[in-house]
Amino acid sequence: MSFYPFLIALLLLSAAGYWFGSKKALGAVRQSTSFLTPRPHQFGLFVAIWALLPPLLLGVFWVVFQVMPLQLDAGTNQQIDRVFFPVLGLLAAAGGLFLAIRRIGPDLKVRKSIEAVVFGILILASIISILTTVGIVFSLLFETIQFFKKVPMSEFFFGLNWSPQTALRADQVGSSGAFGSIPLFTGTLLITFIAMCVAVPLGLLSAIYMTEYASDRFRSVVKPLLEILAGIPTVVYGFFAALTVGVFLRDTGSAIGIDIVSESALAAGFVMGMMIIPFVSSLSDDIIMAVPQSLRDGSYGLGATRSETVRKVILPAALPGIVGAVLLAVSRAIGETMIVVMAAGFAANLTANPLEAVTTVTVQIVGLLVGDQEFDSAKTLAAFALALVLFIVTLCLNVIALVVVRKYREKYD
């Protein structure tokens, strides 16, 4: 029996159970008066749940069985898959149904048992997010350990040369490639730095103007417009950076006699900064709003102008929160992928010159994993090591930022 007929049979069975259960409960109601607390459809649900739960548990075994690398020949495997599990599943469903209907009676605490099942489901749903984290950590860690068996850790963290291209033949010279990731980290930092130089002043000043000067009408129009910048997919920014900004910078550069490559760090960083403006501005907006009005009033009362209040009272008071916001923006910039994949270079280049092409961690992850993957070569595994570094760095930045922001909020609560 294939999957869909089995599923339909199961659902029909539980629907029948629902109908029969509520019917029986209704019948019982007519005979006695002490049988009224739960409503009839709850008895139906109770039966339906009992019809579905056993095959569901069996289904989990089924999936585990299929994933497990058991050495069975195809015929047996198919037999088990096509006959054994479906039949067992339907039997389990029928058994659960039968037992549940027999249990219907005045003593059955039906609401309680339904709610226990629902509670279990809710907990299971919550655990999925934990499983996701565990999955990320383990899948990255596992491949990274494999990687460090092939490439020494000292080379990865302190090497200055990155060229993961492994040769086609194993006996060729330099077939192992070079995995020094310093150029990637510096490239990432350079682009992030440029992005922050664009995003922090623009975002922060916008937020100050919005909170301290703008009228409500201005706010209600401009704020959503700024948020559009955050809603545009990153691939669109990448296209813009590569085809418009990169080319524009190159042409301007050649017009005034400076050599700017079209994949310069400046183009990628600038566009990334553009993307992050609303992120910085809305976070700082919240934080500036959280500064108590009494501080402002005190400053105005002493005769300070608005700008003096902002510079000498509000910004110092909001500084920890703003630092937190900037850290969050940095972590966002470090993890950003599509803009740099499309607008930055692929060649690792150890330089601090924003007019040259640099590469980043995310670009290399994409470069290493798109196309053929061999999970026994250092080239593919290197991507996981890079991703683990990326994951840890962004995680730390976020945790620090969240702690800073929380401390800041508590101060003014």
Partner 1 sequence: MTDLSNKTGGTGWNSDHFRKNLARRKRSEKRFQRIGLGAILTALTLLAILMFSIFSKGYTAFIQTSISLDVTFNEAIIDKDGTRDPEALRHANYTKLVQESLRARFPDVEGRSNLRALFGLLSNDASDTLRDMVMANPELIGQTLSVELLAGDDVDMLNKGYIDRDLAEDNRRVKDKELVWIDSLKEEGQIVTHFNSGFFTNGDSREPEKAGIAGAMVGSFYTLLITMLLSFPIGVMTAIYLEEFAPRNKFNDLIEVNINNLAAVPSIVFGLLGLAIFLNVAHLPRSAPLVGGLTLALMTLPTIIIASRAAIRAVPDSIRQAALGLGASKQQAAFHHVLPLSMPGILTGTIIGLAQALGETAPLLMIGMVAFIADIPGGINDPATVMPVQIFLWADSPERAFVEKTSGAIMVLLAFLVLMNALAVFLRKKFERRW
Residue 179: what are its φ and ψ, rounded to 5°?
Answer: -125, 45
Q: Is 398 in the site for partner 1 (CB under 8 A)?
A: yes
Q: What is the footprint of partner 1 within residues 332-351 (CB under 8 A)?
A: 332, 334-338, 341-342
d(CA 203, CA 274): 9
Q: What is the footprint of partner 1 within residues 64-93 (CB under 8 A)?
A: 67
Q: What is the footprint of partner 1 within residues 177-206 (CB under 8 A)?
A: 201-206
d(CA 274, CA 266): 12
- For 410: left if phi > 0, alpha if psi spans -120 to 50, otherwise beta; the answer is alpha
Q: Is 360 in the site for partner 1 (CB under 8 A)?
A: no
Tokens of 43: 């008895």
Residue of 291, 274, 365, 284 lying closest to 327 (CA atoms): 284
Q: What is the nearest approach in angstroms of partner 1 to the Cβ of residue 410?
A: 17
Query: Binding partner 1 by CB under 8 A: which of 213, 319, 352, 374?
Result: 213
Q: Is 36 in the site for partner 1 (CB under 8 A)?
A: no
What SS3 class is residue 341? helix
Q: Is 49 in the site for partner 1 (CB under 8 A)?
A: no
Please answer whether residues 162 and 180 qualify as being in contact, where contact means their C-beta atoms are separated by less than 8 angstroms. yes
If the CB atoms of residues 133 and 163 are measured against partner 1, the closer one turns out to be 133
AA identity, residue 399 = V
Q: Is 210 in the site for partner 1 (CB under 8 A)?
A: yes
Q: What is the footprint of partner 1 within residues 275-314 (CB under 8 A)?
A: 277-278, 281, 305-308, 310-311
If the CB atoms of residues 94 and 290 are measured against partner 1, the closer one turns out to be 290
Q: What is the footprint of partner 1 within residues 238-277 (CB under 8 A)?
A: 238-240, 242-244, 274, 277
β-sheet bridge partners, residue 162? 179
Q: What is the footprint of partner 1 within residues 109-148 (CB under 8 A)?
A: 111, 115, 118-119, 121-123, 125-130, 132-133, 135-136, 139-140, 142-143
Q: Is 153 in the site for partner 1 (CB under 8 A)?
A: no
Helix (DSSP H) and strand (DSSP E) numbers for the chain: 17, 2
Q: What is the nearest approach in angstroms of partner 1 to the Cβ of residue 191?
A: 14
Q: Is 132 exposed, middle or buried (0-12, 13-18, 19+ CB in 10 A)?
A: exposed
